[in-house]
Amino acid sequence: MEFKEQWIAFTTILRKEIKRFTRIWVQTLLPPAITMALYFVIFGKLIGSRIGEMGGFDYIQFVVPGLIMMAVLTNSYSNVSSSFFSAKFQRSIEEVLVSPTPNYVILLGYVLGGVARGLAIGVMVTILSLFFTDLPIYSWVITVSIVVLTAVLFALAGFINAVFANTFDDISIVPTFVLTPLTYLGGVFFSIDLLSDFWQGVAQLNPILYMVNAFRYGMLGVSDVNIGVAFSGLVVCVMVLFAIGMHLLKTGKRLRA
């Protein structure tokens, strides 16, 4: 395929993915925004007023970057996993695979559709947070790059989950038993400085800890981890998952009847 044809194929997949979640925005965009608003009220105002400061900031300011990141990664993941598995379940993905569309175009189309939903939720949550607290930006470059890389990473992870899933129930296993525990233990609501040395070491094995803290550093200028390590780890993970996604499409593993 020529570049123009590849571009048409890519934009077609991307538009389809965006229309998919915007058409049912009451189910895809509104619930996460309401959930995050409840987090702001409960953890930020009610409990946060009793906790006081953390990391040199009001507690609600401290948790807002983590809540934004939590919303971005979960929605990026769920959008691609559910969309691609639906295409696989209905066997419509086979028509795309037998077409001359390059595999990287297919993968990018689905992944960036998930990124679009994740970032849309992130913007909505950020706007909501401004009703509860002031939100400074320490570094726009770090803030934007980290949130985009995180959205891409979890969109790729959602794609891989969808390829290996056999039923719709399999789609919910990873978010329920992996993503949710890692997110809640990933420094969203607390600084790991509060933990003992042993549990700090355990917490540092959690990859989401680095994403949350890098994003918090971009907004507030404070972090429990090395920003260079967090950024490098994100880039490497994105490259590895992209390579896995390309391999799965090339081999057609679990995609073709």
Residue 257 lies inside a defined structural domain of this protein: no
pLDDT of the chain, 257 residues: tens digit per residue:
788 899 999 999 999 999 999 998 888 889 988 998 888 888 777 777 777 778 788 888 999 999 999 999 999 999 999 999 999 888 888 888 888 999 999 999 999 999 999 999 999 999 999 988 888 899 999 999 999 999 999 999 999 999 998 888 888 888 888 888 898 888 888 888 888 888 888 888 999 999 999 999 999 999 989 999 999 999 999 999 999 999 999 988 777 65
Sequence length of the chain is 257
Residue 256 lies inside a defined structural domain of this protein: no
Range of the domain at 31: 3-251
Query: HEC profile for the chain?
Result: CCHHHHHHHHHHHHHHHHHHHHHCHHHHCHHHHHHHHHHHHHHHHHHHHHHCEECCEEHHHHHHHHHHHHHHHHHHHHHHHHHHHHHHHCCCHHHHHCCCCCHHHHHHHHHHHHHHHHHHHHHHHHHHHCCCCCCCCCCHHHHHHHHHHHHHHHHHHHHHHHHHCCCHHHHHHHHHHHHHHHHHCCCCCCCHHHCCHHHHHHHCCCHHHHHHHHHHHHHHCCCCCCHHHHHHHHHHHHHHHHHHHHHHHHHCCCCCC
Record the pTM. Answer: 0.93
Residue 196 lies inside a defined structural domain of this protein: yes
Tell me the two tokens of residue 146: 């980290």
φ, ψ for residue 131, nearest 5 deg:
-80, -10
Domains in the chain, number? 1
φ, ψ for residue 221, nearest 5 deg:
85, 15
Tokens 């290996």 -> residue: 164
